[in-house]
Amino acid sequence: MLKDGLVALIDLFLSNMAFAYGAKTLKVQYRNLLASLGSGDGQVELASAIPWGTTTKRYLQLCQVNMSKYVANVLNIGPSTTPSCPFAWNNTRIRWTSDSGATWINIDLPAGCYTLDNVQQAIVAGSYTLHTNPGNPAFFLGANTATGRPYVVINYLLSTVGTNTLGLDFSSDTSSPNIAEFLGFNTAPGAATFITNGVYNSVTRAQLNLVGDSISVMLTGFGTLGNVGGQQTHELCTVPMIAFSPTANEFVHPLVPFQLPPIMVDAAAQIKSYTVSFVGSSTRNGQPWPVFFMEGQVNVVFSLIW
């Protein structure tokens, strides 16, 4: 029995041709189809157990990993709405004011993959009536290409407001506390609330690559797959990430596909279920980042050899 959107394809190849690690090969394909933003994780319950055999020499070989869509970096997740997420994260809201903060207007970013330029476009679109010329807006979010640190420029002279009372807020709205951290600004309450004309610099580089420099594909149900730092692990492979463009602070996507040599595993004689999950190399509160993909699919193919 499979969860919605999951497809597990199992093909049995009984080869008469000698193989370096065994005479029989069972190819297993895990595929999770995503109609919208979501996790690629899934558990597969098999109608009948995989016939691993009686031999104690059992091998598993990764044949292919394919993640066809980009990894989301703006989203609202947490244990209450997303069981696979061990912590709460929300970086979807920016606010602006034209009266020195007496009233605020929300700009809510839809979940997705954002560059700094995408965030800037959302700010201008969310405050469209404020600007005398949207091509030269009163609010501008950019980045210093030498340091990689973002900055905000506020100039009321480019707005329909005749007083120096414009402002942007990345930190005070408690419903979306992580947008300041995401953009590299001070995360203390009110520290990323900017009112009146000026140039406001971030304190660090933008954290647009939430998941880190790589994505680990975890496979449970087939025993230990390796040892990292003296600890047993179920990590099947690590997919490196590359920049989408040479410009600093832009989002990333996986390098795919690739395969690895067979490894010996200590799996049980019969496999009735298995789980595939995807986590980032970065951590938060000691927990690895869960990976959320845009619409598309994740595909993992591996062979069992005995």
Question: Is there a single domain that holds both residue 65 and residue 87?
Answer: no
Question: Is there a single domain that holds both residue 154 and residue 301?
Answer: no
Question: Is there a single domain that holds both residue 194 and residue 82?
Answer: yes
- What pLDDT, on a 0 to 100 scale, did the predictor assign at position 227? 80
- What pLDDT, on a 0 to 100 scale, did the predictor assign at position 9? 52
Rg (CA), the chain: 24
Is position 285 within any domain? yes
Is position 1 within any domain? no
Q: How many domains does the chain have?
A: 2
pLDDT, tens digit (0-9, with 9 covering 90-100), for 218-266: 999 998 898 877 888 999 998 887 655 444 444 555 555 667 888 888 8
- What pLDDT, on a 0 to 100 scale, did the predictor assign at position 189? 86
Residue finishing a domain among 176, 201, 226: 201
- What pLDDT, on a 0 to 100 scale, did the predictor assign at position 7? 53
d(CA 179, CA 192): 10
Q: What angle do CA 184, 188, 193 make, to 5 degrees?
A: 75
DSSP state of 267: -
Residue 184 has pLDDT above 90, yes or no: yes
The upper half-sphere exposure of residue 16, i.e. CA atoms within 13 Å in the direction of its Cβ, equals 0
* Percent of residues, the chain, with pLDDT higher than 70: 86
pLDDT, tens digit (0-9, with 9 covering 90-100), for 42-101: 999 988 888 776 777 889 999 998 886 578 999 998 887 777 788 889 999 999 999 999
Per DSSP, the three-state class of 129 is helix
- What pLDDT, on a 0 to 100 scale, did the predictor assign at position 53? 67
d(CA 275, CA 92): 30
Is position 141 within any domain? yes
- What pLDDT, on a 0 to 100 scale, did the predictor assign at position 267? 80
d(CA 97, CA 167): 5
Residue finishing a domain among 148, 168, 201: 201
Question: Is there a single domain that holds both residue 136 and residue 183?
Answer: yes
**Which H/E stretch holds residue 75?**
none
- In this structure, of 16-20, 98-102, 283-287, the range with the lowest mean pLDDT score is 16-20
Question: Is there a single domain that holds both residue 69 and residue 82?
Answer: no
Domain assignment of residue 153, given as a range: 76-201
Question: Is there a single domain that holds both residue 191 and residue 143?
Answer: yes
CA-to-CA dists, residue 103 to 44, 93, 106, 169, 251, angstroms: 50, 15, 10, 12, 33
| Sign of the CA dihedral running 9, 13, 19, 23 | positive
Residue 273 has pLDDT above 80, yes or no: yes
- What pLDDT, on a 0 to 100 scale, did the predictor assign at position 82? 78
The pTM of the full predicted model, rounded to 2 decimals, is: 0.84
- Average predicted confidence (pLDDT) for the chain: 84
Residue 111 has pLDDT above 70, yes or no: yes
Question: Is there a single domain that holds both residue 95 and residue 174?
Answer: yes
User: What's the distance, Cα to Cα, between the start and end of the chain in Å?
Assistant: 26
Question: Is there a single domain that holds both residue 159 and residue 229?
Answer: no
Residue finishing a domain among 146, 177, 201: 201
The DSSP secondary structure of 12-36, one letter per residue, reads EEE--S--SS-SEEEEEEEEEEESS
Is position 33 within any domain? yes
- What pLDDT, on a 0 to 100 scale, did the predictor assign at position 256? 53
Tokens of 158: 């480019």
Residue 32 has pLDDT above 90, yes or no: yes
Residue 116 has pLDDT above 80, yes or no: yes
- What pLDDT, on a 0 to 100 scale, did the predictor assign at position 124? 97
Question: Is there a single domain that holds both residue 29 and residue 116?
Answer: no
Question: Is there a single domain that holds both residue 177 and residue 229?
Answer: no
Tokens of 181: 């951290």
Question: Is there a single domain that holds both residue 67 and residue 216?
Answer: yes
- Amino acid present at 106: N
The DSSP secondary structure of 171-210, one letter per residue, reads SS-TTSTTHHHHTT---STTTTEEESSEEEE-SS-----T
Question: Is there a single domain that holds both residue 190 and residue 228?
Answer: no
Here the CATH number for the domain that contains residue 267 is: 2.60.120
Q: What angle do CA 278, 60, 16 make, to 5 degrees?
A: 145
CA max distance for the chain = 83
d(CA 1, CA 109): 36
- What pLDDT, on a 0 to 100 scale, did the predictor assign at position 35? 87
d(CA 201, CA 143): 9
How far out from the chain centre does Cα 52 lie?
A: 34
Residue 217 has pLDDT above 70, yes or no: yes
